[in-house]
Amino acid sequence: MIIVMNSNAPQASIDRVVAEIERMGSKAHLSRGQFRTVIGAVGEEGVVDQTHLAALDGVEKVVPIMKPYKLASREFHEDDSVIEVGGGNTPVVKIGGSHAACIAGPCAVESEAMLNRIARHVRDGGATILRGGVYKPRTSPYSFQGLGIEALRWMRACGDELGMPICVEVMDTRQVEQMEKFVDCFQIGARNMQNFDLLREVGKTTKPVLLKRGLSASVKEWLMSAEYVLSQGNRSVILCERGIKTFEDSVRYSLDISSIPVARQWSHLPIIVDPSHAAGKRDWVGSLALAGMAAGAHGVIVEVHYNPAEAQCDGPQALLPEMFKALMEQLRQIAVVTEKEFSVPAELAVASN
């Protein structure tokens, strides 16, 4: 950690900073320049409290040298993590390293029939994990809020029947225990990326966690949220880039494509993209999905509906089944260029061998 003093900081302030660094068990190195004094705190960075030093008199700024996350960092885990989803009543699907996967399904589960129909469509198209919301985070209290536990049972039954692990969003700490019995993968939504109690609760479970990036979270803050889950013992976190808030208003959110190479350089965790919520409009979903894979993502999560105009949630961004199928073909080709391979649905796997 490096402490830059104000240009006119008195000696007493410099002495105080040095004393504090040493009190915290680190060593202080002074560099006196023509205009300023800079103090380096050498030793294990975790023991030095950045905020404390920044609050001392005469300190202009404190520059941390180490990353603030550990378990999520590639410095402590050099190779790509490969996360396994499913494996109970369904095959295991791997995500990470050279393993890519497509997660698809409806935005929200609206009925058992619609779920089963869409699930078959996405499985036929090449998805290997089924998504579907049962509790929905809606900006308006007057919008459809999801069907809850009943829809969760349908998801489980449908996933088991089709051999697809299921991924479902959890919104409230009180839902974790019950949901853990049903799901193969918890999804944490963008608006809950810094709901720290929720992160801790899913961190105590044994199921993988798909962690969407917050709408205004830096890559560093995102990895800090992953660290919350990892620090509770759950080492299976999948990052998901889904777009950030910017001034551009043609799309719902701006897919931050650079977060993919950055997160991959800083962390060993796998990362996928959600082009549906970023685009907000089905016309643009395909281009964003392809871009995500080309940038190095380990897969995509997309929303599909056979009749978007009937969807109770996010219809405008849902792909039609035939669009989804065509997109998967292109995604497979892109994956080859970035040295990844998509998992294939169970029976098809047999067939293609």
Place of tokens 């050099």: 78
Q: How far apart are CA 159 and CA 306, in angstroms?
A: 19
- Is 318 one of the binding residues for a second copy (CB under 8 A)? yes
Tell whether residue 44 is a contact of a second copy (CB under 8 A).
yes
Please name which of 157, 78, 82 lies closest in space to residue 115, comparing C-alpha atoms. Answer: 157
Q: Which of 36, 77, 117, 120 binds a second copy (CB under 8 A)?
A: 36
Pick the closest to residue 268 from 95, 84, 94, 73 (CA basis).
Answer: 73
Establish if 260 lies at the interface with a second copy (CB under 8 A): yes
Helix or strand run (H / E) with residue 197:
helix 196-203
Q: Which range touches a second copy (CB under 8 A), out of 97-105, 155-163, 180-188, 290-298? A: 290-298
Of 256, 261, 258, 247, give the one whose Cα is nearest residue 275.
256
CA quadruple 217, 218, 221, 226: dihedral, nearest 10: 80
Report if residue 65 touches a second copy, rule: CB under 8 A.
yes
Within 13 A of 330's CA, how many CA atoms are on the CB side? 17
Q: 166 vs 285, which CB is nearer to a second copy?
A: 285
192 binds a second copy (CB under 8 A): yes
Q: Which of 281, 323, 321, 274 is nearest to 300 (CA)?
A: 274
**219 is an interface residue for a second copy by CB under 8 A:** yes
Footprint of a second copy on 111-150 (CB under 8 A): 137-142
CB of 89 to a second copy, least distance (A): 29
DSSP H or E segment with residue 290: helix 282-294
What token pair was written down for 118? 């869409």
Q: Residue 121 Cβ, how far from a second copy at the closest point, in Å?
A: 17
* 279, 319, 327, 328: which one binds a second copy (CB under 8 A): 279
Distances (CA, A) of 301 to 28, 36, 71, 73, 290: 48, 51, 25, 24, 12
Q: Does 313 bind a second copy (CB under 8 A)?
A: yes
Q: Interface with a second copy includes 18 (CB under 8 A)?
A: no
Is 43 near a second copy (CB under 8 A)? yes
Work out how close the CB of 82 gets to a second copy at its nearest, in angstroms, rounded to a whole number. Answer: 20
* One of 10, 15, 19, 75 touching a second copy (CB under 8 A): 75
User: Using the rule CB under 8 A, which residue among 24, 157, 251, 326 binds a second copy?
Assistant: 251
- Of the residues 152, 185, 188, 257, which one makes contact with a second copy according to CB under 8 A: 257
Q: Which two tokens mark 227?
A: 């660290």
CB of 210 to a second copy, least distance (A): 18
The answer to whether residue 97 forms part of the interface with a second copy (CB under 8 A) is no
Does 38 help bind a second copy (rule: CB under 8 A)? yes
Whichever of 295 and 301 has its CB closer to a second copy, that residue is: 295
* Amino acid letter, residue 116: N
- Footprint (CB under 8 A) of a second copy, residues 324-343: 330, 333-334, 336-338
Binding residue for a second copy (CB under 8 A) from 35, 113, 352, 353? 35
Of 155, 163, 159, 161, the residue nearest 135 (C-alpha): 155
Question: From CA 204, how far away is CA 207, in angstroms rounded?
Answer: 9
